Amino acid sequence: MLVLGIETSCDETGVALYDGDHGLLAHALYSQATLHADYGGVVPELASRDHIRKIIPLLRETFRQANVSMTAVHGVAYTAGPGLIGALLVGASLGRSLAWTWNVPALGVHHLEGHLLAPMLEANPPTFPFLALLVSGGHTMLVQVMGVGAYHILGQSVDDAAGEAFDKAAKLIGLPYPGGPALAQCAAQGTLGRFKFPRPMTDRPGLDFSFSGLKTFTLNAWRNAADASAQNRADIARAFEEAVVETLFIKCRRALQQTAVRSLVIAGGVGANTRLRERLRELENQEGVRVYYPRPTFCTDNAAMIAYAGHQRLLAGQSEDTAIRATARWPLDSLRPPPSGSPTTYAV
Ligand code: KG4
Ligand code: ZN
């Protein structure tokens, strides 16, 4: 089954073609990062307008790359939420309309389900059940994944998401948007140990996270530093990054020990962080588990993961009526596995 995937939930426009027999045929991505850089964060209205400008050229580019005709598509999957509503509606309108034109089924995919299933696009994918550390700009969660649509949330952030904390800390020490990659790059020049940051919520039982306090630590360290030198900035960035990474490491180890699940998947934009990948890899020897990462471009937002997740559900017969639906808020634990057997309606 050949599925067209469309992603427009935030500031990345993505289009992909995934085929059940041949895997990912092509994917194209456009990042709006420079558009939003002057504002220090994503401006929703600008994001929606830019998706409208970029989506059709990306669509053409993806079909050209894959060298397939539009009439070969068997189903369309688009991100229906959670995300920025105006941005989501661009992908939903196009996806639903194309499916209607081509007379094929369409499906609104949950953005986080896309992230959770992204490692399935790689050469040696994990098998169910696995534990997933989902760390993005909007979410930080430990999820036990029993199968497509069978997600049990073991813990999550009580305040800022890990990516949000990276972005805010970067801003506080004068780094440009997007903050996460900029802070990671700056931290690579830093020395560990000059600044001491806590590992929030690791001294008590449980698998929840809290990252907002690390912002205050960052601000205080930056204000109290002798001067605003590049070295001080890098050392603070290093201390911040290590605090987030170590906190995530401790909670992942705890979750693995509690569940006895043997595979850990790292998903979401912060999963592109090199230090996090390196540190979590150590769990392979320490805990005798396997750690899986999607390649960095499939950790951050992309349409390949949406095409893959949509393919799994469309193949099982799930599809929607002709209404165009998108939703800014959509709890992950409200998802259910695709129905086995006859096609049914998929309510967003
Ligand atoms: O999954 P994603 O692309 O979008 C959301 O669904 O939120 O995640 C974006 C988040 C941003 O907060 C960004 O700063 C962070 O992932 N991020 C990183 C890195 N690359 C992206 N954080 C730390 N280190 C990175 N290398
Ligand atoms: Zn995302």
Give me the residue spans of the domains in the chain.
2-118+298-334, 129-293
Token pair, residue 141, equals: 């969660």
Decide: 265 and 126 in contact? Cβ < 8 Å: yes
Decide: 147 and 154 in contact? Cβ < 8 Å: no
Give residue 216 CA to ligand 1 midpoint distance, Å: 20
- Please give the pLDDT value at position 341: 60
Residue 294 Cβ inside 6 Å of ligand 1? The answer reads no
CATH topology of 2-118+298-334 equal to that of 129-293? yes
CA nearest ligand 1 atom 7, residue: 137
Give residue 215 CA to ligand 1 midpoint distance, Å: 17
**Gap between the Cα atoms of 137 and 153, Å rounded:** 18
Decide: 40 and 177 in contact? Cβ < 8 Å: yes
Pick the closest to residue 255 from 209, 295, 199, 300 (CA basis): 209
Q: 2-118+298-334 has which CATH code?
A: 3.30.420.40
- 129-293 is a CATH 3.30.420.40 domain: yes
**Gap between the Cα atoms of 264 and 201, Å rounded:** 21
Residue 300 Cβ inside 6 Å of ligand 1? The answer reads yes
The torsion defined by the Cα of 267, 272, 275 and 277, in degrees rounded to 10, comes to 40
Give, as one character, the DSSP assignment of residue 22: T
- Please give the pLDDT value at position 226: 85
Q: What is the DSSP string of 29-60?
A: EEE-HHHHHTTTS--HHHHHHHHHHHHHHHHH
Token pair, residue 294, equals: 């999607």
How far, in whole angstroms, is CA 128 from its chain's centroid? 19
- Ligand 1 atom, smallest distance to 300 CA: 3
- Ligand 1 atom, smallest distance to 178 CA: 14
Token pair, residue 227, equals: 């001067």
Token pair, residue 133, equals: 């550390």
Q: Please report where in the chains the tokens 């049914």 appear, as a residue.
A: 344
Encode the chain (348 residues) as per-residue pLDDT tens digits: 999 999 999 999 999 999 999 999 999 999 999 999 999 999 999 999 999 999 999 999 999 999 999 999 999 999 999 999 999 999 999 999 999 999 999 999 999 999 999 999 999 999 999 999 999 999 999 999 999 999 999 999 999 999 999 999 999 999 999 999 999 999 999 999 999 999 999 999 999 999 999 999 999 999 999 899 999 999 999 999 999 999 999 999 999 999 999 999 999 999 999 999 999 999 999 999 999 999 999 999 999 999 999 999 999 999 999 999 999 999 999 999 998 764 444 333
